[in-house]
Amino acid sequence: MAPLSLYGVANTLVSTLLLHLAAVLPAPLSTLASNSGLITALSVLLFGAILLGASLLNTILLIWFERKMLGRFMDRRGAMHVGYAGLLQNFADGLKLFRKHTFKPRDADGLGFFSAPTAYMVTSIVMFGILPISTGWNSGSLPLSLLLALVVFSFAPLFIFLGAWSSANKYSLIGGMRSAAQMIAYEVPILLAVVAVILLSGSFDLSTIVAEQRNYWFWGPLFLALLVFVAGMLAEMERIPFDLPEAEAELVEGWNTEYGGMLFAFFMLADYARALVGSYLIVLLFLGGWTMPGWVPAPLTNFPLAGILWFQVKTYLVFGVFIWVRASLPRVRTDQLLRVGWMRMIPLALLSIVLAALVVLAKCLPVFGCVPSVGG
Amino acid sequence: MSEMWINMGPQHPMTHGLWNLRVKIDGEIVLDVDPEMGYLHRGIEKISEDRHYNEIITLMDRTCYVAGIAWEHLFILAAEQALHVEPPERALWIRMLSEEFQRVASHLMWYAAFVQDIGLMSPFLYGMRDRDLVLDLFQSYTGGRLTYEYMRVGGVRNDLPPGFAEQARKVCDWLLDRFVEYDRLCSGSDIFHRRCDDLGVVKAQDCIRLGITGPMLRSAGVPRDLRKDRPYAAYDRVDFDVATAETADVTGRYVVRMEELRQSVRIIRQALDWLDKNPGPVMADNVPRWMGAPYAPVGREGYLLKREYPKGVGFSAIEEPHGEALAYVVNEGGEHPYRVKLKSPVFVNLSAARHYLVGYRVADIPPIMGSVDICVGEVDR
Amino acid sequence: MEGEELSRRLVGKFPAVVVEPFRETAGRVRFPPEILLDLFREMRDGLGFDHLGQVGAIDWVEEREVFYTLWSDREKQYVFLSTRVPASAPHLESLTPVFSSANWHEREAWELVGIEFDHHPDLRPLLTPTGYEFHPLLRSFQLHEPEGLEVKVRDV
């Protein structure tokens, strides 16, 4: 039996359905229904819908997780009333925001104002299609999926700045400027840290990178790169201590000051989608993805969907660290943040590349008896 | 980005109240500031001219909504001088106890707001949680949590309830433990020092030139505290130290306030011990009975009795949680004061905003203004 | 510093000054408005009262009184100073050249009691709204009285 894959499931569902349809429909339609192109198209659509729905649900669960964790850190309970332990609170909040009037400030530029949240949302959600969360649970093997993911991930400052500028609000503008400066400054160390991973795994394909971690997870040899990557991700996600673009103490709500109702919900959801994606990336690149080390007993790792489960457990642990940081650290200042970004993180990232190269060289030593793998 | 003015306020997370800080910025650098006050002006001084003395106490609670009882105390001290009334000793100790509890509550409120300004989220709730314990104590003997109407000309309204001292001692122990935790969360953090060191510096000479008082002045190394320098109530009979710091910056103000919290707990413990040993009346004998009544009593024929007092003036100064507060009460013999003038420490500390904000960054405004500890109620009155 | 010493040191320089004992302070100094700046310079530099506590004003209908409170860290004492200006021409020199912290206090005294402080750097309303034409703390500014309520008052 072929390994379970989401596309396979969707394909089976669609072809079975169309097969039954073809049997009952009249002649011209039945040939159309058995057309393999149509089957593929519908399968892809179904696949995308399932992936999107599951990912958004997961994002909402992540928000719930943060609210509960943060509550505990603050000696309170977090959301409690809607659903069991407040599980449905976010749906209630979303519904409330959905019912709000969508408005545009008088001086705001309509095109930019409305397209920015949408574009931000789209670029954040597309990431779920690129990142594999288990074998067979992505859109197929992309040889350059890591690069694609990073490219899509780095679109965000553009749209944030677009939304901020078109809001015609000074706070938004300052927040947007900060956001753009911060994201660009931290893009560089993130990319350099990723280079170390690429060196060690010899591949741009996330599935291959995970597969390369079957013997040891990369956080061990690439600890420095992990540190740089996590700090960079904190800045990219705009979370405390690096949430200056929306520092509510001085900038009200930063670049999304003027957004309300559903547009704000878009930004909010996309923010958490990015947080989830960032955690995914950390798990994929450094924490072995969906694989588990050999000492974990087999019954825990070989049941169906075990990969997804372990992947999510790791993701939530990583995000838990982010929540912990948020609950216990003050916010830094823009100039300090940029100074740390350009003057500390980049040298550290470069050093981590050197370390990764040394590890690759060490693998070539005859003692280890293995041959370096070049290319994917 | 060219220079521009932005309005931080009147509705802005930084303001902690209702006022507007107009800031001229170039990029992130603050070039000029102009505080605009008056959004909360209720005319307390004017209304006081139309109220009986014990009715003004209600207004005093609203003067500063986080340190109500300190303002009651301030007004009562001046009013007693103006009306020639001597309170009994036990009332003095209860007033001192109340003022110190109020200082703890006010500083905890400040702590909660201040850490929020630098982006620390959890301690905000810790500060509010522990302030609630103090408010519970207030509730147990004044009936109010925020506005108390507790002090009276000639004493205080009622004595402490039975069992109060035990409860208060428990709260004191709990608070002292928590203060250690607070310190670890703030001054133990490297980011905190990066944000707050050498920020909003006002040196001692500048403080005096600008009239700044309270923790801001003490953080510049001037050990000025009216509780020590010009003791009122029973402050000359308790042991405590005046907290000072040398750095004159935001961190210095933080250090001073945290130390004041500890000193306040120290004073509270001594006051509780004294109150345990010395029962007695809490209202003066020579106060006419109707002074406690909110409305003028009605005479036999159904006429309102007109109340007359001997002429007098009263001047009092207390070390309010925010600094030196002054009250000047002129009594011209009518049943209402002729003039009540209140001086708020925050009013003066805020008037110097240009001195300690210009040249810093936009992101520095919330911590600096937070460290000033603004209560707009007492600025606007 | 006791009242007598304050009196001795002040009256020598400013014969027009009257010092009287006042409420646990070093004394209450009554002075004519003309010598304001000189007197305060002397208080600050000569006597060490270098901290301005407050500036306030009272409307005595025909006259308006402006009072000042100074604190000395050396003496650990307050001193209370007051002067009177006629209500017909309520002009007084601004104290800001000597104590810059008088700025906001004088703005407040101006808008609430209507004292015109000459040479003040920035005499704008502080607490009252822009365009507010009244000086609320004047006795002539009556608070609203409930209508139709007859209160008979009798002396006790």
Give the pLDDT confidence of B57-83 residue by residue, as tens digits.
888 888 888 888 999 999 989 888 887
Residue A139: its pLDDT value, please? 60
Strand runs labelled E in B142-295 = 151-152, 155-156
Closest residue in C to B378 (Cα) is: C127
Average pLDDT over residues B83-95: 86
* Residue for token pair 């982010």: A322
- Within chain A, how many helices (H) and strands (E) appear? 15, 0
Task: Output the CA–CA distances (angstroms, integers) from residue B243 to B115, B237, B253, in the order listed.
Answer: 20, 18, 10
Per the domain annotation, does A17 fall within a domain? no
A231 touching chain B per CB within 8 A: no
Of residues B293 and A221, more confidence is placed in A221
Domain range for C82 is: 3-118
Residue B1: its pLDDT value, please? 56
How many CB pairs below 8 A link B and C? 106
Dihedral sign for Cα atoms in the order B152, B155, B157, B160 = positive
Contact A250 B121 (CB under 8 A): no
Q: Name A271's Cβ contacts closer than 8 Å, sequence gap at least 6.
A: A124, A237, A238
Average pLDDT over residues B149-159: 83
pLDDT above 70 (res B377): yes
C-alpha distance from C41 to closest chain B C-alpha (Å): 13
Chain C: residues touching B (Cβ < 8 Å): 22-25, 50-54, 56, 58-59, 67, 69, 71, 73, 76-78, 80, 99-101, 103-105, 112, 125-129, 136-137, 141, 143, 151-156
Average pLDDT over residues B234-241: 89
Q: What gap in Å lies between CA B72 and CA B90, rounded to an integer?
A: 17
Contact C127 B339 (CB under 8 A): no
Residue B374: its pLDDT value, please? 85
* Residue for token pair 């929306």: A246
Per the domain annotation, does C37 fall within a domain? yes
Q: Name A135's Cβ contacts closer than 8 Å, sequence gap at least 6.
A: A3, A5, A207, A290, A307
Average pLDDT over residues B101-111: 91
B216 touching chain C per CB within 8 A: no
Per the domain annotation, does C138 fall within a domain? no
Residue among C128, C141, C156 minimizing CB distance to B38: C128
Amino acid symbol at C75: E
Per the domain annotation, does C132 fall within a domain? no
**Residues within 8 A of B (CB atoms), A 153-182 only:** 170-171, 173-174, 177
Nearest to A282 by CA among A244, A330, A214, A234: A234
A246 touching chain B per CB within 8 A: no
Residue C149: its pLDDT value, please? 58
Nearest to B224 by CA among B86, B324, B81, B117: B324
Contact B46 C143 (CB under 8 A): yes
Q: Name C6's Cβ contacts closer than 8 Å, sequence gap at least 6.
A: C19, C26, C27, C29, C47, C79
A243 touching chain B per CB within 8 A: yes
- Counting the structural domains of chain C, the total is 1
What residue segments make up the domains of chain B, in order of their start? Answer: 43-345
Per the domain annotation, does C25 fall within a domain? yes
pLDDT above 80 (res C151): no
Closest residue in B to A326 (Cα) is: B121
Task: Output the CA–CA distances (angstroms, integers) from residue B28 to A277, B10, B23, in the order listed.
Answer: 31, 21, 11
Mean pLDDT of chain B: 85
Contact A332 B28 (CB under 8 A): no
In B, which residues are within 8 Å of C78 by CB distance?
Answer: 230, 315, 317
Under DSSP, is residue C142 helix (H, G, I), strand (E, B) or coil? coil
In B, which residues are within 8 Å of C155 by CB distance?
Answer: 306, 308
Residue among A251, A334, A336 minimizing CB distance to B194: A336
Per the domain annotation, does A375 fall within a domain? no
A73 touching chain B per CB within 8 A: yes
Residue A375: its pLDDT value, please? 44
Q: Which chains touch C (3 or more CB pairs under 8 A)?
A: B
Domain range for A317 is: 50-364
Candidates C29, C45, C71, C75, partner chain B, best to mutate (most B CBs within 10 A):
C71
Residue B290: its pLDDT value, please? 53
Going residue by residue through chain A, which has 376 residues, state the pLDDT in tens, using 9 for 90 and above: 356 677 788 888 888 888 888 788 777 777 777 777 888 888 888 888 888 888 889 999 999 999 999 898 888 888 888 888 888 888 888 888 888 888 888 888 888 888 888 898 888 888 888 888 877 776 667 788 888 888 888 888 888 888 888 888 888 888 888 888 888 888 888 889 899 888 888 888 888 888 888 777 888 788 888 988 998 888 888 777 777 777 666 677 777 888 888 888 888 888 899 889 999 999 988 888 888 777 777 777 777 777 888 888 899 999 999 999 888 888 888 888 888 888 888 898 899 889 888 888 877 766 555 555 544 4
B13 touches A252 (CB < 8 A): yes
Per the domain annotation, does C147 fall within a domain? no
pLDDT band at B190 (very low <50, low <70, confident <90, very high): confident
Residue B264: its pLDDT value, please? 92
pLDDT above 80 (res B230): yes
Contact B119 A243 (CB under 8 A): yes
Per the domain annotation, does C149 fall within a domain? no
C-alpha distance from A324 to closest chain B C-alpha (Å): 10
Q: Is the ipTM of this complex over 0.90?
A: no
Residue A373: its pLDDT value, please? 52
Average pLDDT over residues B299-309: 52
- State whether CATH 1.20.120.80 applies to domain B43-345: no
CATH number, residue C64:
3.30.460.80
Residue B171: its pLDDT value, please? 92
Contact C73 B37 (CB under 8 A): no
pLDDT above 60 (res B291): no
**What does the pLDDT look like over C128-149, one tens digit per residue?**
877 777 888 888 877 766 566 5
- Counting the structural domains of chain A, the total is 1
Per the domain annotation, does A35 fall within a domain? no
